[in-house]
Amino acid sequence: MKRIVLTGLAFAAVVAAGIGGNLAGVRGLPVPGVRAWFGVEPTLAAAESAGTGMVIYYQDPDGKPFYSATPRQTEDGRAFRAVRASEDVSFEVKPPARAEATVPASARRILYYRNPMGLPDTSPKPKKDSMGMDYIPVYEGEDDGGSVVKVSPGRLQRTGVRSEVVERRTVGRLVRVPGTVQLDERRISVVATRSEAFVNDVANVTTGDQVTKGQVLLRLYSPDIAAAGAQFLTDLSIGGRDGAVGGARQRLENLGLSSRVIGEIERTRKVPLSVTWHAPRDGIVLERNVVDGMKAAPGEVLFRIADISSVWVLADVPEFDFGVVRLGAPATIQVRSLPGRSFEGHVSLIYPQVGEATRATRVRIEIANPGGVLLPNMYADVEIGTGGVTPVVAVPDDAIIDAGTRQVVILDRGEGRFEPRVVKVGLRGGGFTEIREGIAAGDRVVVAANFLIDAESNLKAALRSLATPEAQP
């Protein structure tokens, strides 16, 4: 019986010690004698006040600017501290602990209190929102009344904010339009007589044949040429004055005789009954309108010959793209009949009118035609390069926030500070946009998650407008 009583007293003492230790731990009181019981000297600290809401990220246990979206540990094995929604709900950079030690919160004047969830709601005195979260005080000096937005390092990492340095670069894009292959008008020649003539015989040349300059095309008889040739021989035989001889030669030239034929008359001192007509250039016979024995009227087209070693491509550029196409712009041409092959050229002319029906402007591109593979009236796919050769200030397209009536970029001022800046844009192409006014080369602009900072800037402006003098202490 005595042993049972002693055992009960011992158990009661252990329970009492446990309850006392628990109370001491909660209240932060020292617990003497624990070393004697367990051989250690514990240090019990008051439990830290826990935040509310879900865990939004994890921070280094020493308060260093190292964050993680998932639980992790430091190199020495300590777990990162969980930061909940109520502990970080503002874009504002929290003042360092040492700054608060030198400038107590009580010494700073509170301007007003703002909604912890970023809603456009302020209060002149402390209050809670519908979720029980305390409104955040805005101290004097924190709201500078400007457009600079401060973002905490943790939020920068979570939202994926990324910035790049503004550089000068060449900005351009390709204008893709349809076109057709046409002959170069300057490389087309017509064979015709300047007087009535009778065709004696025509060379074995047909439409589509390749001819060379000086090749014989036909032989004909012309009374006017015969009479002018006889006068030329008479002037030569009587030793006429240079003026008379020159006049007779000029008449022969006016009738279309080549210098080769006139030289032959002067050498043989005989006017041939049939005058030979030669090809005026290298090229392809486009038309043959002459047969043996026919009578040719003055000016009648007997042959049409075109040199196709160089051709034109006429492309129709829509009116809204017309402003970016310039003379000398590089162009690449592809035709569907020659897959995998392209031809390079440059814009040589921009026609001075816009088609009334198509609302397009025609441009001319001159390209070489090796082997004569490009034929007149072929359809072509044309790519015209735009943009100047001089580098301009440009930013990635993702850096532009287009609000319709204005375009904005977010400048990275460093140390978590950002400033929206209205800019004037120019050409776009290749993933970059020209900036004509607003920023300069060397500035840093936000290229990722910039719309979040822009939203916070707009919210900040709205809060300033809602914070009336009556609402501020």
Question: Model-level pTM greater than 0.85?
Answer: no
Angle at 26 between CA 20 and CA 29, to 5 degrees: 65
Look at residues 241, 242, 233, 239 and name the one whose alpha carbon lies nearest to residue 264: 233
Over the stretch 49-93, which tens digit does the pLDDT of each residue have? Answer: 456 667 777 888 887 777 787 888 888 888 888 887 666 544 444
Per-residue three-class SS string for 32-54: CCHHHHHCCCCCCCCCCCCCCCC
- From the DSSP assignment, how many helices (H) and strands (E) are in the chain? 8, 29
pLDDT band at 303 (very low <50, low <70, confident <90, very high): very high
pLDDT score of 194 more than 50: yes
Highest mean pLDDT among 150-164, 289-303, 437-451: 289-303
Nearest by Cα to 57 from 67, 72, 42, 48:
67
Helix, coil or strand: residue 452: helix
Phi, psi of 67 (to 5 degrees): -135, 160
- Would you list the DSSP string of 369-416? -GGG---TT-EEEEEEE-S-SS-EEEEEGGG-EE-SS-EEEEEEEETT
Tell me the pLDDT band of 44, cut-offs 50, 70 and 90: very low
User: Taking all residues of the chain, what is their mean pLDDT, rounded to a whole number?
Assistant: 77
CA gyration radius for the chain? Answer: 47
Phi (first) and psi of residue 203, to 5 degrees: -65, 165
pLDDT tier, 188 (very low <50, low <70, confident <90, very high otherwise): very high
Which pLDDT belongs to residue 351? Answer: 92
Highest mean pLDDT among 128-132, 292-296, 413-417: 292-296
Q: What is the mean pLDDT of residues 416-426?
A: 84
Spatial CA neighbour of 227 closest among 197, 190, 264: 197
Q: List residues bridging with 446 in a β-sheet.
A: 163
Given this model, what pLDDT does residue 123 score?
82
Q: Give the pLDDT score at 236.
A: 81
pLDDT of residue 313: 95
Mean pLDDT throughout 383-394? 82
Nearest CA to 313 out of 176, 174, 175, 179 is that of 179
Give the alpha-carbon dihedral of 463, 464, 467, 468, to 10 degrees: -140
Mean pLDDT of all residues in 384-405: 83
The residue assigned the tokens 């504002």 is 92
**Mean pLDDT on 369-393:** 87
Please give the full DSSP string across 348-359, using - where no structure is assigned.
Answer: EEEEEEE-TTT-
Lowest mean pLDDT among 238-252, 285-299, 405-419: 238-252
In this prediction, residue 48 carries a pLDDT of 43
pLDDT digits (tens, 9 = 90+) for 238-276: 765 554 567 888 888 888 888 888 888 888 888 888 888
